[in-house]
């Protein structure tokens, strides 16, 4: 059975102040298999974040449904861990307390929390920063904490909404390797939204390309690059071929998106 | 020197603040000692200070100060105990807000001092009436401000907490409350300042003790020195409680 099924999910937003309603997402289907790392690639405003938010149940679909392990998804829950583009660490909690947040909500005893937190602090390379508050951390370190916080709950699927979008290029590349390393070791099921073509190829075993608004998945490309992947792969001929193919796909949509905004 | 938002070194800050106090007293001394203003209307600083001294040594003024401080903090704490939980509930749950908000917005404009005659009728001239004036004066303000602060919790933090498994009560207790706490503390500090205004008004009418009563009493003696000393005492205590509040806030929410 598939891990996650997105069945003819669409989303229409009500018009603002009597204006016409906006179709953000056309009827979309996507099947995510266990241990898939799928990136959803699309131009800005194509509804890719809306799709992810519907999977998280932070937003409700206008039609269709989402099934996780065959069970319909109705409300947000710790089985779908999420990392947001904006910084969402709780500023009054330390790195360790942030990572323990979900475990505490579950009612896990403190000793158990500390053990799990320590292992994820290690995995995301934040040893020595356990007792720092978020405002003392760089953007990259904050997102590493957010990643550890989502992983500590051991979610069935990890949802990432352009998690590295606000980071500088070098930090972003390191974060990609970090996340990929964790995935290669633990084989989590991941749904990763991005507008960065390199990122979408480097991370994924499947890239779902979305069209301009109203969004739909126009192409589902399998990425047959071997694991473990090394950053030097980004300059290999195979990588370039994928990149050329996806660039064509996405460029047409980006052009449409710009025309929509002007028109 | 006048560059917008440019910080000033701490030493310069203190110096500038002190200079104003010095100028203020110098101007006061000038107009009184210089005979520009009749002593009947404004006593000189030296007289004011010495009458203040004798207020403490001969007229047991410290008791008046004590009772006034008790009334301010008593009424204020009662108001906070009611207003903070209600404000949090209103900020978190829109249905509760819809229920209370219109009435409280209306009640906020009822001047506390206008209730004094009514409160004397209901509660007499004792402490209950004094505390009620301060309570009415501050409770509605605190409710609305706390509701606004809690309602302004960053949506992303709430969403993140949902995806980490928090339920409604977890969101309120472990996301909204700690997030809003520093600003709630600041609000309380602000409203405590207003409570000082209400207490004096309450003490000017139907009281037999307190700083306000002393000021009222000195009017009969036409002693402007005593009145001014009373007013200054309020300023000094207000400033002291403000500093204390600020200090506690900084310790709690660095």
Give ipTM to 2 decimals. 0.91
| Domain edges within chain B | 51-252
The C-alpha R_g of chain A, in whole angstroms, comes to: 19
| Domain edges within chain A | 4-79+157-262, 90-154
pLDDT per residue over B43-69, tens digit each? 999 999 999 999 999 988 999 999 999
Rounded CA separation A225/A233 (Å): 9
Which residue among A58, A86, A105 sits closest to B164, beta carbon to beta carbon?
A105
CB contact under 8 A, A78 and B174: no
Cβ atoms of A177 and A231 closer than 8 Å: yes
Rounded CA separation B209/B68 (Å): 8
Cβ atoms of A104 and A149 closer than 8 Å: no
Q: Find the mean pLDDT for residues B171-200.
A: 92
Which pTM does this prediction carry?
Answer: 0.86
The superfamily (CATH) of domain A4-79+157-262 is P-loop containing nucleotide triphosphate hydrolases (3.40.50.300)
A153 close to B (CB below 8 A): yes
Written as tens digits, the pLDDT of chain A (263 aa) is 789 999 999 999 988 888 889 888 999 999 999 999 999 998 877 888 999 999 999 999 999 999 999 999 999 999 999 999 999 999 999 999 999 999 999 999 999 999 999 999 998 999 999 999 999 999 999 999 999 999 999 999 999 999 998 889 999 999 999 999 999 888 889 999 999 999 999 999 999 999 887 888 888 889 988 888 888 888 999 999 999 999 988 888 778 778 877 76
Rounded CA separation A69/A3 (Å): 5
Q: Which two tokens stand for residue B244?
A: 């204390």
**A105, A151, A165: which to substitute to probe chain B, counting the most B Cβ within 10 Å?**
A105
CB contact under 8 A, A88 and B159: yes
**B159, B165, B170: which to substitute to probe chain A, counting the most A Cβ within 10 Å?**
B165
pLDDT at residue A212, as a whole number:
81
Mean pLDDT across chain B = 91
pLDDT at residue A263, as a whole number:
61
Q: Give the three-class secondary structure for A210.
A: strand
A–B: how many Cβ contacts below 8 A?
63
Helix (H) or strand (E) holding A82: strand A80-83
Cβ atoms of A41 and A210 closer than 8 Å: yes
Give CATH for domain B51-252. Answer: 1.10.3720.10
Distance from CA of B181 to the nearest CA of A (A): 10
């Amino acid at each position: 059975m598939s891990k996650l099924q997105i069945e003819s999910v669409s989303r229409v937003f009500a018009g603002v102040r009597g204006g016409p309603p906006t179709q953000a997402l056309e009827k979309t289907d996507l099947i995510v298999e266990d241990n898939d790392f799928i990136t959803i690639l699309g131009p800005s405003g194509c509804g890719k974040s809306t799709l992810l938010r519907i999977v998280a149940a932070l937003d409700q679909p206008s039609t269709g449904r989402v099934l996780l392990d065959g069970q319909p998804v109705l409300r947000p829950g710790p089985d779908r861990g999420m990392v947001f583009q904006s910084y969402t660490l709780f500023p009054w909690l330390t790195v360790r307390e942030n990572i323990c947040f979900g475990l505490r909500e579950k009612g896990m005893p403190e000793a158990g929390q500390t053990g799990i937190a320590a292992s994820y602090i290690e995995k995301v390379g934040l040893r020595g920063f356990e007792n720092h508050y978020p405002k003392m951390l760089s953007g990259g370190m904050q997102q590493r904490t957010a990643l550890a916080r989502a992983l500590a709950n051991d979610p069935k699927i990890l949802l990432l909404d352009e998690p590295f979008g606000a980071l500088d290029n070098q930090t972003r590349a390191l974060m990609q390797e970090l996340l990929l390393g964790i995935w290669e070791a633990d084989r989590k099921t991941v749904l990763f939204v991005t507008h960065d073509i390199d990122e979408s190829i480097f991370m994924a075993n499947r890239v779902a390309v979305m069209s301009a608004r109203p969004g739909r998945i126009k192409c589902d490309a399998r990425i047959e690059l071997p694991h473990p992947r090394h950053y030097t792969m980004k300059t290999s001929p195979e990588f370039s071929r994928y990149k050329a193919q996806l660039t064509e796909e996405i460029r047409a949509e980006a052009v449409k998106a710009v025309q929509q905004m002007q028109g | 020197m006048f560059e917008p938002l440019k910080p000033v070194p701490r030493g310069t800050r203190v110096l500038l603040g002190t200079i104003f106090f010095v100028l203020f007293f110098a101007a006061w001394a000038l107009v009184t000692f210089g005979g520009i203003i009749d002593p009947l209307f404004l006593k000189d600083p030296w007289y004011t200070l010495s009458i203040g001294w004798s207020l403490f040594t001969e007229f047991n003024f410290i008791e008046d100060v004590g009772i006034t401080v008790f009334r301010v903090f008593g009424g204020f704490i009662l108001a906070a105990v009611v207003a903070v939980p209600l404000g949090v509930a209103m900020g978190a749950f829109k249905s509760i807000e819809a229920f209370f908000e219109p009435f409280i917005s209306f009640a906020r404009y009822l001047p506390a001092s206008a209730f004094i005659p009514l409160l004397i009728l209901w509660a007499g001239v004792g402490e209950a009436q004094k505390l009620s004036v301060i309570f009415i004066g501050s409770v509605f303000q605190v409710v609305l401000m706390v509701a606004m602060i809690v309602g302004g919790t960053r949506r992303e933090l709430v969403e993140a907490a949902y995806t980490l498994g928090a339920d409604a009560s977890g969101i309120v207790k472990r996301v909204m409350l700690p997030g809003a706490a520093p600003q709630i503390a600041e609000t309380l500090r602000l409203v405590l300042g207003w409570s000082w205004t209400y207490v004096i008004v309450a003490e000017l009418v139907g009281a037999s003790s307190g700083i306000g009563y002393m000021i009222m009493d000195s009017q009969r003696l036409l002693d402007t020195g005593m009145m001014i000393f009373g007013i200054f005492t309020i300023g000094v205590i207000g400033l002291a409680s403000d500093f204390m509040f600020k200090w506690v806030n900084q310790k709690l929410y660095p």
